[in-house]
Structure 1
Amino acid sequence: MEWFILFIVGVVGGVIGSLMGLGGGVIVVPALLYLSAYGLIGDISPQLAVGTSLLAVIATGLSSTLAYYKKGNVDIKSGLLFFIGSGPGGVFGSWLNGFLDAETFTLYFGIFIILVSLLLFLQNRLTPVDLPKDNRVMMTYVDAKGIEHQYGYHLPIAVIISFVVGCTSGLFGIGGGALMVPAMLLLFRFPPHIAVATSMFMILLSSTTSSLTHLYLGNIEWILALLLVPGAWFGAKMGAAINTRLKPVTVVLLLRIFLLIFGLRLIIDGLL
């Protein structure tokens, strides 16, 4: 039964991660911790949960990136530039993870989940910021309807933000898209579907560096990963397909509520 549960966890993480550009670890890490707490998968430390989750995030990132790339939605250049920050950030976050015990990790992770939930609640209510156009990397995208979209970013600012995103990926095993997508929408004015697709490409790269660091530190439970990865792969394909056909308003709303409740539960567990 636990094998089936882990496969479903991978599918759900893949769908949510690919659909919204989050990466999916925001589902996988809490699920591993709770399955462990209830004795379904053995004793899993925060470090093992994060390291194992990152393999599922890699599968989600690769599967969804390939799907989005076929549709021409991935900004490869921007993703590689963002990786200048997210790559080292992932290694640094993975190193920081080793200093957290179970209670501290649960508390900090709960606070982070609450912040992500609030950010998703406010995302559609925030107004894009007008940044100076001097020394910006400017991009032009023509969508399927022939409408031209222009967006751009200051590379130093983008690298700093992506470093923070990579750090959260290595620290919490979540991918980091929960921070990167809003930044791409509000600061850099990416079209939403380009932001999600490019976020998944960057998550693929940064999660790989984070995962290699956790591999070196011995923080991967391979049996669990082998059950999660196939589900994450298929889930990511489903999420990418849904993203191109439907407005994920209902999914976003459910995810916001889920994260808010789950974050509060993690904080309570960490405090107690």
Structure 2
Amino acid sequence: MVVGLTGIGGGALMTPILIVVFGIPPFVAVSTDLLYAAITKCGGIWSYARKQLVQWRIVGFLLMGSVPGSLITLGYLEGLDGLEQIEYLMNLTLGFSLVLTSIAVFLRSRIRDFAASMQDHGFTSGLRKWRPAITVTTGFALGGMVTLSSVGAGALGTALLIVLYPRMTMPAIVGTDLVHAVVLTSVAGAGHYQMGGVDLELLAYLLVGSLPGVFVGSHIGARLSPRLMQPIMGSLLMAIGLRFVLSA
């Protein structure tokens, strides 16, 4: 319902709800949510691709960084001594990821306005030749963050693309970020599955519930203003993120 209402927050809320409300261990919650995100976001790719709203070159730059970042993070997790270390690291990363996501939600319109105002600035023009390298580096950071927390591929990825590519339309940014998020969460989810973290029964229940939830939420969301929903979502994500940071 939250995704249908706001278009954001599904991934950012799913893992905390599984951990805090249902008592699912962090490792299982993150692992299962990664595959859940990969499956549920797949449906949106074809619509954006058919309308030519996916910038495949930018997707390639992001994946050049995010896939190695995810694989390195998975290798690091496999090398840790015990589950307690993994879950401590996941809780801490989840908290910081949620705080950053809440800031991105709060400031989305301001980030877009700032990026638009700077696109013809001389300093910005000079940075354009470095943009592919910056995009790859950004992807690497997102790869590690998403693999550890299952959060960041959506709202954070969108905010970073707005800053890096201010001339792109918002639908093209969303479509490009969506394709990157599906591939990244698939790679990270497959790695977590190999480590034994995915609960397939839980995944099935989440998928069954998400279909009617998105349908109902989208109908209600059409009647609600984003100016009302975004501050509520941002505040909620900030509070949950700080809870995880302080408890870690």
Tell me the TM-score normalized by structure 2: 0.79
- Does structure 1 retain, via aligned residues, the 8 Å contact 2:101–2:152? no
Which amino acid in 1 is paired with 2:161? M
Displacement of 1:103:
4.3
Bigger shift: 248-257 or 158-167?
248-257
The ranges of structure 1 where at least 4 consecutive aligned residues each deviate by more than 6 angstroms after the TM superposition are 236-247
Cα drift, residue 50 of structure 1:
1.0
Partner of 1:267: helix, strand, or coil?
Answer: helix
Give 1:114's aligned residue.
99
Q: Which residue of 1 aligns with 2:231?
A: 253
Bigger drift between 109-118 and 156-165 goes to 109-118
Aligned counterpart, 1:132: 125
What residue in structure 1 maps to residue 37 of structure 2? Answer: 57
Q: 1:1-272 counterparts in 2 under 5 A? A: 11-12=1-2, 14-15=3-4, 19-20=7-8, 24-37=10-23, 44-97=24-77, 99=80, 100-126=85-111, 127-128=114-115, 129-130=118-119, 131-132=124-125, 136=129, 154-174=131-151, 176-189=153-166, 190-232=168-210, 248-270=226-248
**Matches of 1:31 and 1:108, distance apart in 2:** 16
Shift of 1:214: 0.8
In 2, Cα distance between the equivalents of 1:228 and 1:96?
Answer: 28
The CA deviation at 1:204 is 0.5
Paired residue secondary structure (1:206): helix
Supply the AA of the counterpart residue of 2:57: K
Can you give the 5+ residue segments of structure 1 that lack an aligned partner in the other structure? 1-10, 38-43, 137-152
CA RMSD, Structure 1 to Structure 2 (Å): 3.1
Higher helix share: 2
Change (3 A) 1:104 1:158: closer
Q: Count residues with an aligned counterpart.
A: 234
- Structure having the higher strand fraction is 1
Counterpart code for 2:164: L
Gaps of 5+ in 2: none
The percentage of aligned residue pairs carrying the same residue is: 23
> Could you state the TM-score of these two structures normalised by the residue count of structure 1?
0.73
Compute the displacement of 1:223 (Å): 0.4
Q: Which amino acid aligns with 2:163?
A: L
